[in-house]
Structure 1
Amino acid sequence: MDQWDDTIVARMLHHRTESLLPGDPVAARLMLASSYFLPGTPQAMHQYGRWSNPTWDALEGALGVLEAAQVAIFPSGMAAVASVFMAHLKSGDRLLLPSDGYYTSRVLAEKYLEPHGIKVELCSTLDYTSRDFAGLRMVYVETPSNPSLDICDLADIAARAKQAGALMVCDNTTMTPLGQRPLDLGADIVVASDTKAINGHSDALMGHVATRDAALLDPILDWRKLVGAIPGPFEAWLVHRGLESFEVRYERMSTTAAVLADRFSAHRVVKSVTYPGLASDPGHDIAKRQMTNFGTLVGVTLADATAAERFITDASLIVASTSFGGVHTSAERRARWGDKVAEGYVRLSVGCEPTEALWRELNRVLDELN
């Protein structure tokens, strides 16, 4: 498991400071503007609010440093996903999606891509290794998969997709650029929901697309401008503020997740634990090669749905909530959404609580389960 370059975060935090003039605010400006002063020939950097915004620039600049890539932000993770589909797929193309990944991407493809002649094919995350990519236009992968946390080899998939002439797109929401760097491993495009750990405060929706190929980003930017799938300046400002504490939060969350996963594995009422950092996890060897840490999500399987619901509701330091990546530890029983996991499977998103205080409360509840 390679250590990520900590200078990336340092440069991200200072991405604006070199351009500051005396008296400028250190914090990014919140620019609430729909129109800009444009006398004569319109050659100014900002011309209309649907096209660009200085607050977007600040967030895209910071994320660009973090991804070491060009970045476009969107009002949600799904808007980012949609932009990639709409900009790079046409009638007759074949798209491969994970059958066990985030379900909304599949629903979007089935409801809006297939009727326009795009063939949508599904494959489990674990089967990407043996899948033939010949004839595909886009290979879309999510690892660890959400919610089952299965692992596939990004470098191998990227190499085989390139050989087949397909674009390789990776949803990196679960790991973030601090936990996994798909572009470094050969992915053409990364999409992510910044609603999760990058913002981290459960108060704003946001997503982004990152790529190191301008020819891939340009049609995505055009789609954003023409369709109007744009983020609000206030939301962009909130996410930029959250991003500045991201590394500190992520370090606490991922360190605690590793401790909890190990202790869950030893508890008598826990049937199984899914966490790529465990040596017993089927994806551990691949995770060691392609991740810089093992993330903030832990899958905990208890006896049944009742036990899972009790664990979530009885623990005072768990917020029963969908989504993940916030400062508060949260959890949900994913089978209630129709995901193909055990009825007692809990996706636990580890927050920023002190590690031992969190474990004492979770252990107390586990001890009380029969």
Structure 2
Amino acid sequence: MTSPGFNTRAIHAGQEPDPATGAVILPVHLTTTYKQDGVGGLRGGYEYSRSGNPTRDALHTALAALEEGSTALAFASGLAAEDTLLRTVCRPGDHVVLGGDAYGGTFRLLSRVLSEWGLEYTPVHLDDPDQVRAAMRPTTRVIWCETPSNPLLNITDIETTAAVAHEGGALLVVDNTFASPYLQRPLTLGADVVVHSTTKYLGGHSDVVGGALVARDPGLGEQLAYNHNAMGAVASPFDSWLVLRSLKTLGVRMDRHSANAARVVAFLVDHPAVASVLYPGLPSHPGHEIAAKQMSGFGGMVSFRLRDGEDAALRVCERTHLFTLAESLGGVESLIEHPGRMTHASAAGSPLEVPNDLVRLSVGIEDVDDLLADLDQAMTL
């Protein structure tokens, strides 16, 4: 098979049956160290599990296959992956162009942590290439992009933004958490690195915290792999196994997430309490045409704004039953949150502050009629 399909790769890449027993599921290698056959006589190259572990290495192989990259690395969290990436490709005094509605944790990392290290950043609207070009400096090393973005579901043209980045000698980094590699593969569109919170759709069951980087260029992959070991925020063997298990059903889960979200969007668009619905699958969405071009589906994340403001948004969040009031996203269960007071509270008062009447849904894979009934009762104020 010269070019197996996505679901085949998700089930088989890096996951050959165990040669000793024939077990079709990869073992969890819960070991910190490995017996050497004489000094320096490593079996399979393994000496210490921070540096290498067979379960985590299998996850690396699978993630690289799904994102069509040269090198994948699994981390203890998405933010650990981001920190390692930025401190690998940037130096004190360098500059990052940041999407104007980036995840609050990414903004906190840049504004409160890496700024103390000397890294500078400029938030811009990435849907306007002229704004991006204007924000570039001779010291710009990275354009940091989320598409769809969290939580406003804005869309960035990856090919166009990659061209702007490369014209200025910078890398384009795409956080692909919302789309997953099932719906979008940024490296094939010119991006240099893909970032994931594997906690979300890749893990898919709200039972693991993790992150990942996938690089297109092998040389950059080698630099990242060196710091992956040297800085040490690696994914544990069991967490790696949980994500590897979940990748096998990513395609079928994303199909259901997307189908359910489309029904939820149709309900919200017609609801009198809703001022606007933010979802790239809507033809009225300003990024709809670009999303349709670079994605194979529009995903399970939906945001909407309430006509009666913040108090109404808070009431809806507090009245749902099947939609659990909680942070995070991408699990099989549906979640609801108020970004301004929850996931994006760290952006309050900054250019990345989100509207206070905004509600974000992570639409799960439950029976969609039950989800619609839950939203209907919650919004009957």
Q: Quote how far apart the aligned CAs of 1:87 are.
A: 0.8
Which amino acid is 2:310 matched to? A
Question: What is the Cα deviation at residue 305 of structure 1?
Answer: 2.3
Q: Distance in 2 between matches of 1:358 and 1:117?
A: 46
State the one-letter code of the partner of 2:328.
S
**Where does residue 310 of structure 1 map in the other structure?**
315
Q: Find 1:290's aligned residue among 261, 272, 294.
A: 294
TM-score (norm: length of structure 2) = 0.91
Partners in 2 of 1:149 and 1:128 — Cα distance?
A: 18
- 1:17-96 alignment runs, 5 A limit: 18=16, 20-21=18-19, 23-40=21-38, 41-44=40-43, 45-69=45-69, 70-96=71-97
1:111 — aligned with what?
112
Three-state SS of the structure 1 residue aligned to 2:49 is coil
Who is 1:101 aligned against? 102
Q: Which residue of 1 aligns with 2:11?
A: 13
Partner of 2:340: 335
Once the two structures are superposed, what CA deviation does each residue of 1:250-299 show, in whole Å capped at 9, x if it has no partner? 11011111121122101111111000000111111211111111111111
Quote how far apart the aligned CAs of 1:92 are.
3.0
Match of 1:167 in 2: 171
Q: Helix, strand or coil for the counterpart of 1:334?
A: coil
Partners of 1:224 and 1:130 in 2: CA distance: 33
Q: Give the number of equivalent residue pairs.
A: 364
Q: TM-score, normalised by structure 1?
A: 0.93
5+ residue gaps, structure 1: none
Amino acid of the residue matched to residue 368 of structure 2? Answer: T
Measure how far apart 1:187 and its partner are: 0.2
User: Partners of 1:311 and 1:57 in 2: how far apart?
Assistant: 43
Counterpart residue type for residue 308 of structure 1: A
**Superposed displacement of residue 18, structure 1:** 4.6
Distance 1:292 1:209, change over 3 A: same
Offset, 1:27: 1.3
Q: 1:63 deviation in Å?
A: 1.3
Look up the SS of the partner of 1:335 in the other structure: coil
Structure 2 Cα separation of the partners of residues 168 and 315 of structure 1: 39
In structure 2, what is the equivalent of residue 182 of structure 1? 186
Compare 166-175 and 355-364 and name the one that shifted more. 355-364
The answer to which of 124-133 and 97-106 deviates more is 124-133
Which digits, 9 at most, give the CA deviation of each residue in 1:194-253, with x for residues without a partner? 100110111110110001211111111111211211111111111111222221111101
State the alpha-carbon separation in 1 of the partners of residues 129 and 10 from structure 2: 33
Output the CA distance in 1 between the equivalents of 2:353 and 2:152: 8
Q: Kindly provide the amino acid, as one letter, of the partner of residue 266 in structure 2.
A: D
Q: Would the aligned equivalents of 1:125 and 1:143 in 2 still touch at CA under 8 Å?
A: no
Percent identical:
36
> Residue 333 of structure 2: SS of its match in structure 1?
coil
